[in-house]
Structure 1
Amino acid sequence: MSALRTLIVVAFLPLINLTNAERILGAYIFQRHGDRTAKSWPPAKLTNLGYSQEYMTGTFFHDRYISSDSSYQIDGISTDIVNLAQVTASTPQDDVIENSGEGFLQGLYPPVGSLATETLRNGSTVQSPMNGYQLIPMSDVKSGSGSEDNLWLQGTSSCNNAKVSSNNYFSSNSFKSLLSSTNELYQSLEPLVNQTFSSAELNYKNGYTIWDLLHVALIHNSTTTFPSSSLLNDQLMQELFHLASEHEFNLAYNSSDQIRAVAGMTLAGEVLAALNETITSNGKSKLNIQFGAYATFLSYFGLAGLNTADENFTGIPDYASSMAWELVTNNTGTGMPSTSDINVRFMFHNGTSGEGSTNLKGYPLFGQSMLELPWTQFVDKSNKFAISSQQQWCQACGNTTGVCGSTSNDTGGDSSSSSPSSGSSSDTGMNSGVAGVIGAMVALGVLMGLLLLGMFVFGLRLIPKSALTSVRRGSHTSTSSAMKTIA
Structure 2
Amino acid sequence: MRASLQSGLLLASLSASTANAERVLGAFIYSRHGDRTPKVWGNTQLTTVGYLEMFNSGSFYNERYISNDSVKHIEGISDPVFRSKQLSASAPDDAVLQNSATGFLQGVYPPTSQATEKLANDSTIVAPLNGYQIITLSTTDTNQDSESSTWLQGSSDCPKATVSSDSYYASQSYMDLEASTKEFYQSLSPVLSDAFSDEDMSFKNAYIIFDYLNYGRIHNTTKPNVTDAQWVQLQYLANNQQYNLAYNSSDPVRAIDGKVLAGEILTNLNKTIASEGEYKLGVQFGSYGTFFSWFGIMQMPKASDDFTGIVDYASTFTLELVSNATGTEFPSSDDISVRFSFHNGTVSSSSEPTVFPMFGRSEDLISWSDFVTESEKIAIASDSEWCDLCGNTEGKCSSSSSNSDATSASTDSIGGSGGVSRPVAGVIGAMVTLAVILGLEALFFLVGGFTIAKRCKGGLEMSSAAAGVVDDKKS
1:212 alignment partner, SS class: helix
**Conservation of the 8 A alpha-carbon contact between 2:145 and 2:287:** no
Structure 2 residue matching 1:149: 3-state secondary structure? coil
Alignment CA distance shift 1:426-1:401 (3 Å): farther
Deviations 1:13-41 (A, max 9, x none): 54432221011111111110001110111
Equivalent pairs counted in the alignment come to 421
Q: Give the conservation status (yes or no) of the 8 Å contact 2:36–2:47.
A: yes
Name the counterpart of 1:478.
none
Residues 375-384 or 85-94, more deviating: 375-384
The 3 A distance-change label for structure 1 pair 279 and 5 is: same
2:83 aligns with: 83
**RMSD of aligned C-alpha atoms?**
2.2
The counterpart of 2:313, out of the listed 311, 319, 322, is: 319
Instruction: Report deviation, 1:2.
Output: 5.6
- Residues 298 and 145 of structure 1: is their aligned pair in 2 closer, same or farther, counting only changes over 3 Å? closer
Q: What is the match of residue 338 of structure 2?
A: 344
CA shift for structure 1 position 340: 1.5
State how 1:128-167 maps to structure 2 within 5 Å: 128-144=127-143, 147-167=146-166
User: Rg larger in 1 or in 2?
Assistant: 1
Equivalent residue for 2:378? 385
Aligned match of 1:38: 38
Q: Any idea what SS the aligned residue of 2:154 has?
A: coil
Alignment partner of 1:403 is 2:402? no
Structure 1: any 5+ residue segments left out of the alignment? Answer: 433-487
Distance 1:205 1:415, change over 3 A: closer
Partners of 1:94 and 1:145 within 8 A in 2 = no
Q: What is the match of residue 126 of structure 1?
A: 125
Q: Given that residues 144 and 257 in structure 2 are in contact (C-alpha distance below 8 angstroms), is that contact kept between their aligned partners in structure 1?
A: no
C-alpha separation in 2, matches of 1:133 and 1:146: 28
Distance of 1:187 and 1:170 partners within structure 2: 20
Aligned CA distance change for structure 1 residues 285 and 236 (closer, same or farther; 3 Å): same
Contact 1:270–1:388 (8 Å) recurs in 2: yes
Partner of 1:291: 285
Shift of 1:323: 1.0
Deviation of 1:191 after TM superposition, in Å, equals 1.1
8 A Cα contact 1:301 1:313, kept in partner: yes
2:171 aligned with 1:172, yes or no? yes
Return the alpha-carbon distance in structure 1 between the equivalents of residues 317 and 44 of structure 2.
23
Partner of 2:205: 206
2:365 to 362, 372, 376: 372
Task: Label 1:309 to 1:8 Cα distance change in 2 as closer, same or farther (>3 A).
Answer: closer
Correspondence for 1:427 = 419
In 2, the alpha carbon distance for the partners of 1:413 and 1:71 equals 52
Using the alignment, how far apart are the partners of 1:398 and 1:318 within structure 2? 33
Q: What is the distance in 2 between the residues matched to 1:276 and 1:119?
A: 35
Residue in 1 aligned with 2:106?
106
Alpha-carbon offset, residue 12 of structure 1: 6.0
Cα shift at 1:354:
1.2
Conservation of the 8 A alpha-carbon contact between 1:144 and 1:293: no
* Separation in 2, partners of 1:142, 1:173: 36
Deviation at 1:309, TM superposition (A): 2.8
Question: Is the deviation greater in 336-345 or in 196-205?
Answer: 336-345
Aligned residue identity for 1:361:
T
Partners of 1:63 and 1:389 lie apart in 2 by: 34
Counterpart in the other structure of 1:243: 237
TM-score, normalised by the number of residues in structure 1: 0.82
**Cα deviation digits, residues 247-276 of structure 1 (max 9, x gap):** 000000000001100000000000011111
Q: CA deviation at 1:151?
A: 0.5
Provide the secondary structure at the position in 1 that maps to 2:235: helix
TM-score by length of 2: 0.84
Structure 2: any 5+ residue segments left out of the alignment?
425-475
SS in 1 for 2:85: coil
SS at match of 1:28: strand
Q: Which amino acid is the alignment partner of residue 427 of structure 1? A: G
Compute the displacement of 1:408 (Å).
1.6
Contact 2:144 2:153 in 1 (8 A): no
Relative to structure 1, the CA distance from residue 81 to residue 235 in structure 2 (aligned partners, 3 Å threshold; closer, same or farther) is same
Structure 1 distance, partners of 2:396, 2:410, is 24
Residue 182 of structure 1: how far off its partner (Å)? 0.3
Name the residue aligned to 2:96: 96
Quote how far apart the aligned CAs of 1:415 are.
Answer: 7.9
Q: Cα gap change, 1:164/1:72 in structure 2, threshold over 3 Å: closer, same or farther? A: same
Deviation at 1:237? 0.9
Q: How has the CA–CA distance of structure 1 residues 185 and 415 changed in structure 2, closer, same or farther, with 3 Å as cutoff?
A: closer
CA distance in 1, matches of 2:402, 2:361: 39
Aligned residue identity for 2:34: G
Alignment match of 2:350 (pick from 334, 349, 356): 356
Maintained 8 Å contact 2:145/2:286:
no
TM-aligned CA deviation for residue 120 of structure 1: 2.0
One-letter identity of the residue aligned with 1:162:
A
* 2:25 and 2:75 in contact (8 A); partners too: yes
Deviation at 1:44, TM superposition (A): 0.7
> Pick from 262, 265, 287: which aligns with 1:271?
265
Q: Are the counterparts in 2 of residues 143 and 156 from structure 1 also a CA contact under 8 Å?
A: no
